[in-house]
């Protein structure tokens, strides 16, 4: 416990992972909660009249040790979990939920906050201070401070139950992912698969003392199999296995959990005086209301659906001509789309992969960050990590000042959830005239090296790396006073702008030439491939857009209305998808039961924000293109108004300061070929 409670005696005050034992977490968290409560009592028992400094700032910096410990714990639970950590998570989640309620439902604390809030006009606050004051006041009002005692008790019960249900949902999805293996012993069943995928499957089988080849639901195994395997029956088997996570008659079924989460969220929103969970969430988003989200998604649907139907018909015809296929199914989608893409563009991921060695792509993304924002990355080996795969970097500016510590964790393993994300182990903030620099991490699930090849990325994995690195830049370049307004602590529909804009550089010749080199010959990626990458960027954008819209609509269907009459998850889902469905439904499959973004992560009522942020990113990148993609003037403006300001000001105000105008959707529609 002591290792977590005391200041870390480590380089740059980084987390001492190798010295932390699982059993340290619960006592350390309980002790940190006690410390945080003492800090809160100092605010409430202060006999001086409440001021911005002795109340709002004091509250902002209270519990920082607790935040540090819990961020380490929950990051481990996502990237390197095991049965012990999952048990601890189930035990501490309700304790933390209870503690958060203790703060937001503390009447004397709220009275002090309210007293400062009521004199806001006379306080002569900076923009950042005014934002923090608003945020602190709302964090009480939006979490039950104005409720009566009985309602407050009810809110506590709901929050406690939700914290456990969300964890259980995620554990079930991870268990379902880990429990499935497709074991192949007949070599002819591997027809069509890339050599690297086959080698990785053989290595995995060997690691489990099996002869043959093992495929799993982890993305680096699943995606190439679905894209290239000629054996349709096996593609079907794998696709159905992926689609029924949390939807099987076993201990990991998530149907009841989904219904409970949706109903509890609705009950909570109603208790706080909101029409629905979405009304509650969207009050603090750029979109402001479920109605505006719905009309945003419907407007995009109107633009994208004709293109999606055209693309789908074209794909059906292609599969029919190629293989006499009359019933295109979901497990055929990636396979025939890849073949059609190869035919139209003579472009194939396997052709591109040799140019995207992971180490080179990392060097490339660092070079781009240097050209745009003057950052230098030095790999170091004295910073402790939670797994041997994790790389660590010290990030400095051109004058040699420390900017951030950066962790990168790239490969799948049993204790790591699927997907890719950016996270933080320590936020940036300014206290006692010291600018504390952040510790930022990106976590991905890329194809690992094999005995004969280094880790080679598909182009999709390259864009994923750039995406997460864009989030990381948002964290690293943070420069605000308060931790709760720092880095990625912005409105959820603004947070994807830095990540999505960075993906644009993957399609630009000037950028690709910095890092896309053949891993054996060091030859720069040929110009014809760059042209094809660019030309293929809008391939099947109609269907892609429709897919994203469908997820956004599903999210809103769970959270924008009263869910009490929903008693069948699958039936409800089919209704939500009725305007976006292209493929026949698969009876054994259900999306909601493994839709971790909205039932475990923070995207409930917020999935639309991916498309929302695409409007912002296309518009912002068009500004770069007008002045040159490495324009130091535009990069400086982007850094000043978007990357470093965090949540200190309304995002639309910040965007207009950067761009000089509100974003226009035309840039996105043009880029996607939907105009």
Paired with 183 in beta bridges are 214
Q: Which residues are within 8 A (CB) of 94 and not within 5 positions of it... i.e. 6 or more apart?
A: 160, 163, 164
Answer whether 277's CB lies under 8 Å from 161's CB: no
Strand order in the sheet with 421-426: 375-380, 391-397, 402-409, 439-443, 421-426
Tell me how far apart the alpha carbons of residues 140 and 147 are, in angstroms, rounded to a whole number.
10
Tokens of 474: 């948002």
Answer whether 594's CB lies under 8 Å from 480's CB: no
Tell me how far apart the alpha carbons of residues 251 and 461 are, in angstroms, rounded to a whole number.
33
Tell me how far apart the alpha carbons of residues 372 and 265 are, in angstroms, rounded to a whole number.
42
CB-CB neighbours of 388 under 10 Å: 5
Tell me how far apart the alpha carbons of residues 62 and 483 are, in angstroms, rounded to a whole number.
11
DSSP one-letter code for 248: S
Tokens of 583: 């493929």
Tell me how far apart the alpha carbons of residues 102 and 98 are, in angstroms, rounded to a whole number.
6
Tell me how far apart the alpha carbons of residues 402 and 394 are, in angstroms, rounded to a whole number.
7
3-state class of 639 per DSSP? helix
Tokens of 529: 């491939």
Tell me how far apart the alpha carbons of residues 288 and 155 are, in angstroms, rounded to a whole number.
24
Phi, psi of 330 (to 5 degrees): -60, -35
**468 catalytic, yes or no?**
yes
Residue in 355, 657, 310 with CA at minimum distance from that of residue 517: 355
Residue in 321, 472, 316 with CA at minimum distance from that of residue 403: 472
Tokens of 75: 């990051």
Catalytic site residue from 468, 496, 503, 573 = 468
Residues designated as active site = 468
């Amino acid at each position: 416990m002591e290792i977590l409670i005391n200041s870390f005696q480590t380089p740059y005050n980084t987390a001492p992972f190798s010295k932390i034992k699982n059993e340290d977490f619960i006592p350390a968290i309980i002790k940190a909660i006690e410390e945080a409560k003492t800090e809160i009592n100092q605010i409430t028992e202060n006999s001086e009249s409440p001021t911005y400094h002795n109340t709002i700032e004091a509250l902002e910096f209270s519990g920082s040790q607790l935040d540090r410990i819990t961020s380490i714990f929950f990051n481990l639970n996502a990237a390197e979990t095991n049965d012990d950590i999952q048990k601890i998570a189930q035990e501490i989640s309700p304790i933390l939920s209870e503690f958060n309620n203790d703060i937001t439902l503390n009447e004397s604390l709220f009275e002090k906050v309210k007293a400062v809030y009521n004199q806001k006009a006379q306080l002569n606050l900076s923009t950042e201070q005014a934002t923090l004051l608003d945020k602190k006041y709302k964090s009480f009002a939006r979490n039950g401070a104005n409720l009566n005692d009985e309602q407050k008790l009810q809110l506590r019960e709901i929050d406690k139950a939700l914290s456990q249900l969300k964890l259980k949902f995620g554990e079930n999805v991870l268990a379902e992912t880990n429990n499935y293996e497709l074991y192949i012993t007949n070599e002819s069943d591997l027809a069509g698969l890339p050599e690297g995928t086959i080698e990785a499957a053989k290595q995995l089988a060997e690691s489990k003392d099996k002869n043959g080849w093992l495929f799993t639901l982890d993305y680096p195994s699943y995606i190439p199999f679905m894209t290239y395997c000629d054996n349709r029956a096996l593609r079907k088997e794998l696709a159905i296995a992926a689609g029924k996570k949390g939807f099987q008659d076993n201990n990991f079924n998530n149907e009841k959990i989904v219904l409970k989460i949706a109903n509890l969220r609705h009950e909570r929103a109603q208790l706080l005086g909101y029409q629905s969970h979405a009304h509650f969430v969207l009050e603090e988003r750029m979109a402001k209301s479920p109605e505006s989200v719905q009309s945003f998604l419907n407007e995009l649907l109107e633009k994208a659906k004709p293109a999606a139907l055209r693309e789908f018909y074209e794909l059906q015809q292609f599969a029919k001509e190629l293989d006499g296929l009359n019933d295109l199914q979901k497990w055929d989608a990636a396979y025939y789309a890849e073949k059609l893409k190869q035919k139209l563009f003579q472009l194939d991921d396997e052709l591109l992969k040799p140019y995207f060695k992971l180490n080179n792509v990392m060097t490339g993304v660092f070079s781009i960050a240097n050209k745009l924002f003057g950052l230098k990355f030095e790999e170091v080996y004295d910073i402790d990590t939670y797994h041997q795969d994790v790389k660590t970097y010290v990030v400095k500016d051109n004058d040699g000042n420390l900017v951030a510590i950066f962790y990168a964790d790239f490969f799948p393993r049993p204790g790591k959830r699927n997907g890719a994300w950016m996270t933080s182990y320590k936020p940036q903030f300014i206290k006692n005239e010291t600018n504390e620099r952040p510790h930022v991490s990106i976590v991905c699930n890329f194809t690992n090296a094999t005995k004969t090849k280094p880790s080679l990325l598909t182009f999709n994995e390259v864009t994923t790396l750039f995406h997460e690195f864009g989030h990381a830049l948002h964290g690293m370049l943070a420069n605000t006073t308060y931790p709760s307004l720092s880095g990625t602590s912005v409105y959820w529909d603004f947070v994807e702008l830095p990540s999505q804009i960075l993906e644009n550089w993957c399609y630009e010749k000037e950028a690709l030439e910095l890092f896309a080199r053949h891993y054996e010959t060091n030859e720069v990626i040929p110009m014809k491939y760059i042209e094809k990458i660019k030309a293929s960027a809008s391939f099947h954008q109609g269907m892609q857009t429709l897919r994203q819209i469908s997820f956004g609509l599903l999210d809103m269907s769970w959270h924008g209305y009263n869910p009490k009459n929903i008693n069948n998850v699958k039936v409800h889902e089919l209704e939500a998808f009725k305007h976006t469905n292209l493929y026949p439904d698969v009876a054994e499959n259900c999306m909601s039961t493994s839709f971790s973004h909205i039932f475990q992560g923070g995207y409930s009522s917020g999935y639309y924000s991916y498309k929302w942020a695409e409007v912002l990113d296309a518009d912002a990148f068009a500004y770069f293109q007008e002045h040159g993609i490495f324009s130091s003037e535009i990069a400086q403006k982007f850094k000043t108004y978007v990357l470093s300001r965090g949540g200190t000001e309304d995002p639309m105000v910040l965007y207009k300061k950067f761009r000089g105008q509100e974003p226009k959707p035309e840039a996105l529609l043009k880029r996607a070929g939907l105009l």
